[in-house]
Chain A
Amino acid sequence: MEQALNPLAIAHQHVVFEDGLLLDSGTHLPRLVVAYRTYGTLNAARSNAVLVCHALTGDQYVAEEHPLTGKPGWWELLVGPGAAVDTERYFVICANVLGGCMGSSGPRSPRDDDQTQLWGTDFPAVTIRDMVRAQQRLITHLGIERLFAVIGGSMGGMQVLEWAATFPEQVFAAVPIATAAYHSAQNIAFNEVGRQAIFADPDWEGGRYWQSGRVPARGLAVARMVAHITYLSEQALTRKFGRRLRAGSSVLGPYSDVFEVESYLQHQGSSFVRRFDANAYLAITRAMDYFDLAADHGGDLAQAFAGTKTRFCLVSFSSDWLFPTSESRAIVRALNRAAANVSFVEIETDKGHDAFLLDEPDFHRTLRGFLDGCALHAGLS
Chain B
Amino acid sequence: MTAAEPQVRHLAKNLRVDLELIAGMIAPKTRVLDIGCGEGTLIAHLFHTKACDARGIEIDMREVTQAVAHGLPVMQGNADSDLAHYPDGAFDYVVLSRTLQAVGRPREVLRQMLRIGARAVVSFPNFGHWRVRWQLLTRGRMPMTATWDRMWYETPNIHPCTIRDFFELCTAEGYAVERWLAADDAGRRAPWRRAPWLANLFGEQAVFLLRKRQ
Residues of A within 8 A of B (CB): 311, 313-314, 332-333, 336-339, 341-348, 362, 365-366, 368-370, 372-374, 376
Contact = CB atoms under 8 A, between A and B. Distances in A.
A373 B70 contact: yes
Contact of B68 (A337, A339, A343, A376): A343
A347 B64 CA distance: 10
Contacts, number: 66
Contacts of A370: 68-69, 71
A122 B77 CA distance: 47
Given A369-B72, A372-B71, 6 more contacts: A337-B86, A345-B65, A368-B69, A369-B68, A373-B70, A374-B71
B76 A369 contact: no
Interface string B47-64: 000000101000001001
Contact of A345 (B71, B76, B87, B90): B76
Contacts of B64: 344-345
Interface of B: 53, 55, 61, 64-65, 67-77, 82, 85-87, 90
Contact of B87 (A337, A372, A376): A337
Contact of A336 (B65, B69, B86): B86
A313 B85 contact: no
A187 B50 CA distance: 46
Contacts of A376: 71
Contacts of A345: 61, 64-65, 68, 76
B74 A343 contact: yes
A366 B68 contact: yes
Nearest to B69: A369
Contacts of A368: 69
A332 B72 CA distance: 16
B71 A339 contact: no
A333 B85 contact: yes
A343 B70 CA distance: 12
Contact of A313 (B61, B68, B82, B86): B68
